[in-house]
A and B are shown apart, each in its own frame.
Chain A
Amino acid sequence: MNPARRRLTPYLLLLAGVAWLLVFFVAPMVYQASTSVQTGSLDKGFRVTWHFATYWDALREYWPHFVRSLLYAGIATAACLAIGYPLAYMIAFRAGRWRNVVMVLVVAPFFTSFLIRTLAWETILADQGPVVRFLDAVHVLDVTSWLHVTQGHRVLATPLAVVCGLTYNFLPFMILPLYTSLERVDARLHEAAGDLYATALTTFRTVTFPLSLPGVVAGTLLTFIPASGDYINAELLGSTNQKMIGNVIQAQFLRVLDYPTAAALSFILMAAILAIVTVYIRRSGTEELV
């Protein structure tokens, strides 16, 4: 192949994919940026007036939704890590010949519509259902309502239900990267650490966990980012008091038809996520994610 053609090949290969993303991902973002500083109304049309006050107004009105979104997403991410790590660890080191079976069970829910599965949580957490009645009987609900995460004798329409749903929905996104990085850890390292006087817990703390850190970082990002923008769980499992920023953007866009506010909210959310993610990646010291 002559050198000129060889130099052109990658660009030809990229052309379609990159063009698609430029036109349908980047361009809309740029357009969204311009929308956020427009003013006007539906009848008279919108014009760019560099009206940055939209951001200020949006933030002032909806800051509780932002805080709530990031808080719920954060708690759900932590819960995913706590629940997902043992499972990923089990698949990687303890599942033996059951490994593939368990992997199938982890991946399979992906294929059932997640709306249907979220609706199933409505059934599980239903007011008169066995779960709630049990929790009520053993007075767990008393404690949780004292903590303001549930209300009275119900779990549905409370923060607990929303966080529970978020945790459930994004758990596979945590488990898969965790498993991928744990699988690469040589099981003999555990024996080597044991040979060098480390207890099981020390081995985990000083060997296994550090080696799985890329998976932890990837998993937390893959969980946190979509969770913070989600509005399905808040809509189906929460009440008006648990609305997240996704609900607001969706309503502004599809019902109120206030496009500048919807755009401004999107950009604030994006900026918040980007800031958190950047700080997080810096601190965890794994910048080679991409």
Chain B
Amino acid sequence: MTRTTRTAATRTPPVRTSPVRWLRRNAVVVAGTLALCYLMLPNVVVLVFSFNQPKGRFNYTWNHFSTDAWQHPCGVADMCGSLGLSLRIAVYSTIGATLLGTLTAFALARYRFRGRGATNMLIFLPMAMPEVVMGASLGTLFLNMRIRFGFWTILIAHVMFCLSFVVVAVKARLASMDPRLEEAAQDLYATPLQTFWRITLPLAAPGIAAGALLSFALSFDDYIITSFNAGSAVTFPMFVWGSAQRGTPVQVNVIGTAMFVLAVLLVVAGQFAGGRRRSARRTV
């Protein structure tokens, strides 16, 4: 009580903010926060329902709390097998796409050559193509080449559609790099190879990491293109898709939540590293 009177006494006449004025000034923040809630809602639902013990086969309505699924994440037949396949494919296609994409990005960012425009177009097209078209086309080709569908066909497809995203990420990073840094290295007796190894690569690393991370997420998450090129192999998204018809096991929610948490931790770590680097680039 005394506190309020004192502050009222010392302060000059308080600025009265009507709720309407407050809302007008913060409308963007309110709308943005609502949008964020919309974005987060499904993840919250997935999290909550990972602790559900559904009545029937369908995990759509809340029954009662249980940690069964968290204790036995592999308690469902085939699920962890498909998860393993997805992870393996994601790792390999990330390596492949990052390698090829980085080389391509270097060529595009550092050299002027005939066919540069056409190459840029070729890189852009897969990103501007509906997945269903890409998946069906590649599937048709494999089918007619009598190539057996499975691990390898999925891997080829994933490298193909991840490649462009890596190129874009690395190219952007290289473009924002000061070319004088490489000249400075050469001026300080570094041979072209040493310059690349000690200056260019460390500085391009955040872009390469971003591209690799994106590749991993895209590959791990892909259903559409994979479904056209998998044959009898079952990746994790394909398992989820199949189970959606029969009733999804709670364990799917467990995996989803675990991946979300892992991703948040990863992105936080990446933000930390990237944030430090970014501020470095701004001042230099």
Contacts and interface: CB of A to CB of B under 8 A. Distances in A.
Complex A–B touching at CB under 8 A: yes
A199 to B, nearest CB: 11
A112 B45 CA distance: 12
A59 to B, nearest CB: 16
Contacts of B28: 86, 89-90, 93-94
B36 A102 contact: yes
A31 to B, nearest CB: 5
Given A10-B111, A108-B267, 10 more contacts: A14-B119, A28-B140, A90-B28, A91-B32, A128-B61, A171-B39, A225-B129, A225-B130, A230-B131, A270-B129
Interface string A70-88: 0000000000000110110
Interface of A: 1, 7, 9-11, 13-14, 16-18, 20-22, 24-29, 31-32, 35, 83-84, 86-87, 89-91, 93-94, 100, 102-124, 126, 128-129, 168, 171-172, 221-222, 225-226, 228-232, 236, 246, 249-250, 253-254, 259, 262-263, 266, 269-270, 273, 277, 289-290
Interface string B83-101: 0000000000000000111
Interface residues of B, number: 91
Nearest to B40: A105
Given A14-B103, A116-B252, A124-B42, A229 B133 contact: yes
Nearest to A31: B141
B151 interface: no
Contacts of A168: 38-39, 42
A249 B217 contact: no
B32 A90 contact: yes
Given A24-B156, A87-B35, A111-B217, A17 B103 contact: yes
A287 B255 CA distance: 42
Nearest to A93: B28
Nearest to A249: B132
Contacts of B125: 25
Closest 6 CB pairs of A and B: A229-B130, A90-B32, A111-B263, A17-B104, A86-B31, A10-B111
Contact of B134 (A25, A86, A290): A25
B252 A24 contact: no
B237 interface: yes
B139 interface: yes
Nearest to A126: B60
Contact of A26 (B120, B122, B140, B156): B122
Given A103-B271, A111-B217, A83 B35 contact: yes
A224 B16 CA distance: 45
Contacts of B271: 100, 103-104
Contacts of B99: 16
Interface of B: 27-29, 31-33, 35-36, 38-43, 45-46, 49, 59-61, 99-101, 103-104, 106-108, 110-111, 113, 116, 119-134, 136-141, 143-144, 156-157, 159-160, 163, 167, 192, 217, 220-221, 223-224, 227-228, 236-237, 240-241, 244, 248, 252-253, 255-257, 259-260, 262-264, 266-268, 271, 275
A13 B125 CA distance: 20
A109 B133 contact: no
Contacts of B32: 86-87, 89-91, 94
Contacts of B46: 112, 116-117, 120
Nearest to A91: B32
Contacts of A83: 35, 38
Nearest to A229: B130
A221 B137 CA distance: 22
Contacts of B124: 289-290
Contacts of B140: 28, 31-32, 35, 253, 259, 262-263
B106 A13 contact: yes
Contacts of B35: 83-84, 86-87, 171
A116 B100 contact: no
Contacts of B123: 21, 290
Contact of A31 (B101, B144, B268): B144
A121 B136 contact: no
B88 to A, nearest CB: 16
A225 B217 CA distance: 19
Of A14, A35, A110, which is in contact with the most chain B CB atoms at under 10 Å from its CB? A14
Contact of B137 (A103, A254, A266): A266
Given A13-B106, A112-B256, A266 B264 contact: no
Contacts of B144: 31
Contacts of A103: 267, 271
A121 B49 CA distance: 12
